[in-house]
């Protein structure tokens, strides 16, 4: 008779305990393993936990040997989990929030640190890297997953090796490299909401054995999740095309040149319209328009434009001399974005926002890597230069100002603002690891960064001039047609020193312990929404203290990684919306608002329970909050606010069962249940927009032929059709409405992949 006992909290009440959490999970794991062994006669599993190599330290190492909290998903695992874009990573990484925002921007928070604003005057709090190239804007960073080698998510500040705006962490997308053998695949998919996709890759030798090439293309289309009642069109639709080409030149063992070119196009029929969660006053009706019940029914007039195009090229040169490797990473990228956003979420023209942006960036990194017995060194110089032009404003002829309870004054707005910004960053860094003994290593890291931003900001009013569209304003801006011109010109420089200290101890051949202290830095800037004067904001800083362990257990059938951390977050930058107490005008503010303390724990477990059963679990816990927060009228409101995108609990559990087939192929059924607790989506901590705790159920059935040439997958996501908000706008100050953006409803489909 099988008996398993689990630890219980004293007095019958559960309290979070790191050791108790490990004990419970290991007890559950042991029970499942014993039960499976009893059912199979004690047969040892033939499967094994996948060995993952990562480049988090800019060198290729086993995941278990790197003293960093990191999640890595291989191409095979990404395909099984149906990870189609970066947003699908959210439930597979503890303490990660990742979704598309209001303006096709990547909203990424790790351990409660990130940036929610989509406008280009501020920088992301989590860096996104495509083949080791930092992506400067949040637009263009919400990547489709096309022909990956793997994706790594580094948690905690990466202030030494990655530096620029990685105060919360980094997401690294590594594309698959060319192969000497001619090979490739075609992947076709169909699903509900008219989803269809076609992906293809061809790789092989171009000229002998020294020049290899790879080409990948991907097209994805989907009808909208929502219906626009104003004209019967669809909203939340998708239409993307992405491509990547690469050449790898290796004339010998010492030298290599790797060239990657990529591009993407995102052209849906409509920009994503939020659901109006509260009533809004209508000037045309002279009354309030009530909120609708169905979040996938919208009734809007200004969601007719969404265009995002990116292109990039990167060249990596590597030369090995003895124990040293010299490396150069050169990159140039361009991004163009155009959108109309209906932020009154009604058929009135109360608050239409538009944003046009052209961005280009050049980066150059030089590295010297050295590795010898008991000693390794990663050092480098980094330069980043970004030019950004943006043009945005409001099309709101039916805007209004609340004067008193149920008293509203029409205040029509048609305006434009142009911002030209030049950002430059340079840095030198050093990361040295020295073996103090056979089992104990010391790592010392340091980075010195110099940032400079120059901005020219101008604004004009156009109401009453006969100009009624954003495109017309763009054509005549600065020619004298408009009036009420405002503007400023400003520049500022910031310096930062971001050190790191790590001690790691190889407790046994299968267990690594580590402790670290590291500092992160995020650049300052100027509030780009203001046009009358420069409103500067200072850089953020964060000190993070972490202890963790990495273990391979039960004969390498179990990988168990865990971490505890404490973040001291200073001078953080917050975007919020308010109203001018003198004029009643809408104000968009971006400022250094205070400080916070964030602590938490993370656990990741992968286990082969038997020949037929595999288990994957991740769990994250976040605690803490604002220590100081300055709100309207300089009031201290830290006790009235909660951290943004920082749910107390996040987690996921996946079980995959493999069936034996007579033809030798493999068939597996995988079920996953993810959950996250209550999440505040806005700086205002609006209870209307806060998302309560919820869980999502996913299922997938995979069949692979014996030769591995064919892979067929049936999948379903959010099978219970749970409604949940991912993003929100609190505009209750003006024009008096709160808006919610919802995650995908129930989706299902089939993928067929042929490898050759």
Span 198-225, average pLDDT: 97
Reported as a single tens digit per residue, the pLDDT across 156-165 is 999 999 989 9
Reported confidence tier of residue 404, pLDDT bands at 50, 70, 90: confident
Asked which of 25-39, 62-76, 428-442, 594-608 is least confident by mean pLDDT, the reply is 25-39
* Residue ranges of the chain assigned to CATH 2.40.170.20: 51-755
Structure confidence at residue 47 (pLDDT): 79
Phi, psi at residue 77, to the nearest 5°? -70, -40
Task: Give the percent of the chain with pLDDT over 70.
Answer: 92
pLDDT(211) > 50: yes
Reported confidence tier of residue 485, pLDDT bands at 50, 70, 90: very high
Q: How far is it, in rounded angstroms, from Cα 377 to Cα 255? A: 20
pLDDT(13) > 80: no
Structure confidence at residue 582 (pLDDT): 57
CB 670 within 8 A of CB 656: yes
Asked which of 46-60, 448-462, 579-593 is least confident by mean pLDDT, the reply is 579-593
Structure confidence at residue 568 (pLDDT): 97
pLDDT(610) > 80: yes
Task: Give the percent of the chain with pLDDT over 90.
Answer: 80
Burial of 414 (0-12, 13-18, 19+ CB in 10 A): buried
CB 210 within 8 A of CB 248: no
H-state helical runs in 387-543: 470-476
Please, what's the largest Cα pairwise distance for the chain?
88
- Pair of tokens at residue 449: 């960064």
pLDDT(309) > 80: yes
Q: How far is it, in rounded angstroms, from Cα 654 to Cα 614? A: 8
- Pair of tokens at residue 223: 């009808």
Compute the mean pLDDT over every residue in the chain, rounded to the nearest whole number.
Answer: 91
Q: Spelled out in words, what is the top-level CATH class assigned to the domain 51-755?
A: mainly beta
Could you tell me the CA-to-CA distances from 206 to 36, 131, 258 in Å, in that order? Answer: 50, 22, 14
Is the previous residue joined to 735 through a cis bond, with omega within 30 degrees of 0?
yes
Burial of 605 (0-12, 13-18, 19+ CB in 10 A): buried
Residue 583's contacts (CB-CB under 8 Å, 6 or more residues apart) are none
CB 49 within 8 A of CB 606: yes
pLDDT(2) > 70: no
pLDDT(110) > 90: yes
| pTM score | 0.92
Q: How far is it, in rounded angstroms, from Cα 3 to Cα 30? A: 11
DSSP-derived secondary structure for 479-512: TTSSEEEEEEEEEEEEEEEEEEEEEEEEEETTEE
Q: How far is it, in rounded angstroms, from Cα 271 to Cα 264? A: 17
Neighbouring C-alpha atoms within 13 Å toward the C-beta of 416: 23
Q: How far is it, in rounded angstroms, from Cα 416 to Cα 470? A: 8
Q: How far is it, in rounded angstroms, from Cα 242 to Cα 263? A: 6
Structure confidence at residue 577 (pLDDT): 65
Residue 128's CB: how many other CB atoms inside 10 A? 25
28-32, 37-41, 264-268 — most confident range: 264-268
Residue 407's contacts (CB-CB under 8 Å, 6 or more residues apart) are none
Phi, psi at residue 470, to the nearest 5°? -65, -40
Reported confidence tier of residue 745, pLDDT bands at 50, 70, 90: very high
CB 591 within 8 A of CB 537: yes
How large is the C-alpha radius of gyration of the chain?
Answer: 26
Nearest to 275, CA basis, from 743, 751, 756: 743
Reported as a single tens digit per residue, the pLDDT across 489-514 is 999 999 999 999 999 999 999 999 99
CB 306 within 8 A of CB 101: no
Nearest to 189, CA basis, from 750, 573, 628: 750
Q: How far is it, in rounded angstroms, from Cα 742 to Cα 428? A: 42
């Amino acid at each position: 008779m099988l008996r398993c006992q689990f630890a219980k909290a004293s007095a019958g009440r559960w309290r979070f305990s790191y050791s108790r959490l490990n004990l419970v999970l290991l007890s559950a794991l042991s029970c499942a393993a014993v039960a499976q062994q009893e059912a199979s006669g004690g047969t040892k599993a033939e499967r094994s936990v996948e060995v993952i190599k990562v480049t988090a330290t800019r060198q290729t190492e086993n995941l278990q040997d790197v003293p960093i909290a990191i999640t890595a998903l291989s191409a095979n695992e990404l395909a099984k989990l149906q990870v189609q874009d970066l947003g699908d990573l959210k439930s597979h990484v503890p303490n990660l929030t990742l979704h598309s925002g209001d303006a096709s921007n990547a909203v990424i928070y790790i351990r409660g640190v990130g940036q929610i604003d989509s406008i280009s005057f501020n920088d992301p709090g989590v860096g996104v890297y495509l083949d080791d190239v930092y992506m400067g804007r949040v637009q263009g960073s919400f990547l489709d997953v096309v022909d990956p080698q793997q994706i790594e998510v580094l948690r905690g500040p990466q202030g030494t090796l990655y530096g620029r705006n990685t105060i919360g962490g980094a997401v690294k997308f590594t594309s698959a490299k060319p192969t000497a053998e001619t090979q490739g695949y075609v992947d076709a998919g169909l699903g509900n909401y008219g989803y269809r996709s076609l992906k293809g890759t061809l790789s092989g030798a171009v000229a002998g054995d020294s020049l290899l090439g790879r080409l990948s293309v991907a097209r994805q289309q989907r009808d909208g999740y929502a219906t626009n009642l104003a004209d019967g069109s669809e909203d939340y639709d998708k239409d993307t095309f992405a491509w990547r080409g690469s050449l790898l030149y290796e004339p010998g063992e010492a030298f290599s040149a790797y060239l990657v070119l990529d591009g993407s196009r995102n052209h849906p029929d409509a920009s994503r319209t939020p659901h109006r969660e509260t009533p809004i006053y209508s000037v045309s009706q002279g009354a309030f328009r009530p909120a609708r019940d169905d979040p996938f029914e919208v009734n809007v007039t200004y969601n007719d434009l969404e265009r995002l195009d990116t292109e990039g090229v990167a060249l990596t040169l590597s030369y090995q001399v003895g124990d040293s490797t010299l490396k150069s990473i050169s990159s140039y990228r361009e991004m163009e974005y155009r959108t109309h956003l209906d932020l009154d979420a009604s058929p009135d023209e109360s608050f239409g926002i538009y944003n046009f942006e052209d961005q280009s960036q050049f980066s150059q990194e030089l590295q010297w890597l050295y590795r010898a017995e008991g000693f390794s060194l990663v050092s480098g110089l980094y330069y980043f230069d970004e030019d950004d032009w943006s043009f945005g404003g409001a099309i709101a002829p039916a805007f209004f100002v609340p004067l008193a309870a149920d008293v509203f004054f029409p205040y029509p707005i048609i305006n434009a603002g142009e911002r030209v910004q030049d950002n430059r960053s340079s840095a030198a860094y050093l990361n040295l690891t020295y073996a103090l003994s056979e089992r104990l290593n010391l790592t010392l890291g340091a980075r010195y960064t110099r940032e400079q931003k120059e901005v020219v900001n101008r604004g004009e009013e156009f109401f009453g001039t006969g100009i009624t569209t954003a495109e017309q304003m763009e054509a005549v801006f600065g020619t004298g047609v408009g009036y009420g011109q405002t503007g400023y010109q400003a520049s500022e420089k910031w310096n930062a020193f971001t050190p790191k200290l790590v001690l790691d101890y190889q407790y046994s051949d299968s267990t690594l312990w580590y402790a670290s202290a590291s500092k992160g830095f995020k650049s300052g800037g100027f509030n780009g929404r203001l046009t009358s004067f420069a409103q500067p904001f200072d850089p953020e800083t964060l000190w993070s203290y972490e202890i963790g362990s990495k273990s391979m257990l039960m004969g390498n059938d179990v990988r168990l990684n865990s971490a505890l951390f404490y973040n001291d977050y200073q001078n953080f930058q917050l975007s919020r919306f308010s109203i001018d107490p003198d004029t009643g005008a809408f104000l968009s503010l971006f400022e250094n608002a205070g400080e916070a303390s964030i602590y938490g724990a993370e656990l990741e477990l992968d286990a082969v329970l038997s020949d037929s059963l595999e288990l994957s679990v991740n769990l994250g816990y976040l605690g803490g909050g604002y220590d100081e927060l300055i709100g309207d009228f300089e009031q201290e409101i830290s006790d009235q606010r909660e951290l943004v995108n920082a749910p107390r609990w996040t987690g996921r559990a996946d079980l995959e069962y493999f069936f034996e087939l007579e033809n030798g192929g493999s068939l597996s059924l995988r079920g996953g249940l993810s959950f996250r607790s209550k999440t505040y989506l806005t700086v205002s901590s609006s209870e209307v927009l806060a998302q309560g705790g919820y869980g999502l159920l996913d299922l997938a059935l995979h069949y692979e032929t014996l030769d591995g040439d064919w892979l067929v997958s049936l999948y379903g996501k959010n099978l219970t059709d749970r409604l949940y908000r991912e993003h929100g706008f609190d505009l209750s100050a003006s024009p008096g409405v709160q808006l919610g953006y919802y995650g995908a409803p129930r989706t299902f489909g089939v993928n067929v992949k042929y490898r050759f």
